[in-house]
Amino acid sequence: MLVLVAPGQGAQTPGFLTPWLDLPGVEDRLREWSAAIDLDLVHYGTKADAEEIRDTAVAQPLLVASALLSARQLFATGEDVSRLVGAAAGHSVGELAAAALTGALSDEAAMTLVRRRGLAMAEAAATTETGMAALLGGDEAVVLPHLEQLGLTPANVNGAGQIVAAGTVEQIAALTENKPEGTRRVVPLKVAGAFHTHHMSPAVSVLEAAVTELPVADPHTAYVSNRDGQVVTSGQELLQRLVGQVANPVRWDRCMETFKELGVTALIEAAPGGTLVGLAKRALPGVQTLALKTPEDLDAARTLIAEHSSPTADLSAE
């Protein structure tokens, strides 16, 4: 059974979209989305520097566009994706790409929503100087109380020995100076705010208004939610989860547990892939993985799809 996943903020690097624009139709599609959301995705994906694409209002649309463009290259026009992909999920902002890939939202609706999401979260982040840092290694039973003592939120519980803490820059600085016992490293992330914490609460009301305007359908493929790792079968529930998720922790560990329960045998991460594949290699031993980094990875990904495709996973899975 094949799982398709989309990465979250921090995965972007300068120029990462450049090789994808050589594929037929990709630049045209990117320019259409750019015009629709008033953001030059071609410039930011090819020529912008690291600081420019660190901006939340830029990074989020750029990542969803990249995931959609790269994942769409894997399937022929009109191909029934639900018969090839057993489940899909996205990490944080990657959930919007997963919503489109499972048919709950159109690509255009996902791009419209992610633009509003990025702007709203950037505005919320500007209120207080905040950030995030990944803790590598360590026991949850030790790490979580330590974060609480420092006033930090475990914003991403990613599994495979990785938890991402979020809070003010002062709290993050205190964490780097006083890491939990057993934690190997504390790595600051390339993000501009404490996402998935109470600091993002102002963005929730903006998104609540935004989703009332979006057409939504029930997903045709099992959509695994960041909130609790559950399979969501209702388009309306999916939208409400997307709204609330900006101010609540990402439970990627539970998403991977669900992949395992659904019988995953292979996992492909859309561009800019790498982070989620790394987690899967540690948490899902025996599962074949592939990260889409450049178009050179497409043939290997298509081979993996042919070997591991299966009918849609049971959408009633608990």
**34, 70, 82, 196: the active-site residue:** 196
Cα–Cα distance between 17 and 171 in angstroms, integer?
A: 34
* pLDDT tens, residue by residue, 92-151: 999 999 999 999 999 999 999 999 999 999 999 999 999 999 999 989 999 999 999 999
The two three-digit tokens of residue 280, written as one number = 């899967």
pLDDT of residue 317: 36
310 counts as catalytic:
no
pLDDT of residue 315: 39
SS3 178: coil
CB neighbours (10 Å) of residue 47?
A: 13
Closest of 317, 294, 318, 290 to residue 306, by C-alpha: 290
Cα–Cα distance between 97 and 115 in angstroms, integer?
A: 12
Low pLDDT (below 50) residues in the chain: 312-318
pLDDT of residue 310: 64
SS3 266: strand
Query: For the chain, how many residues are written?
Result: 318
Is the full-model pTM beyond 0.85? Answer: yes
The two three-digit tokens of residue 34, written as one number = 């750019």
Asked if residues 19 and 295 have their Cβ atoms less than 8 Å apart, the reply is yes
pLDDT of residue 189: 86
pLDDT of residue 248: 95
pLDDT of residue 213: 84
3-state helix, strand, coil in the chain (%, to 5): 50, 15, 35
220 counts as catalytic:
no
Residues 6+ positions from 252 with CB-CB distance below 8 Å: 91, 156, 157, 158, 159, 226, 276, 279
**66, 92, 199, 225: the active-site residue:** 92
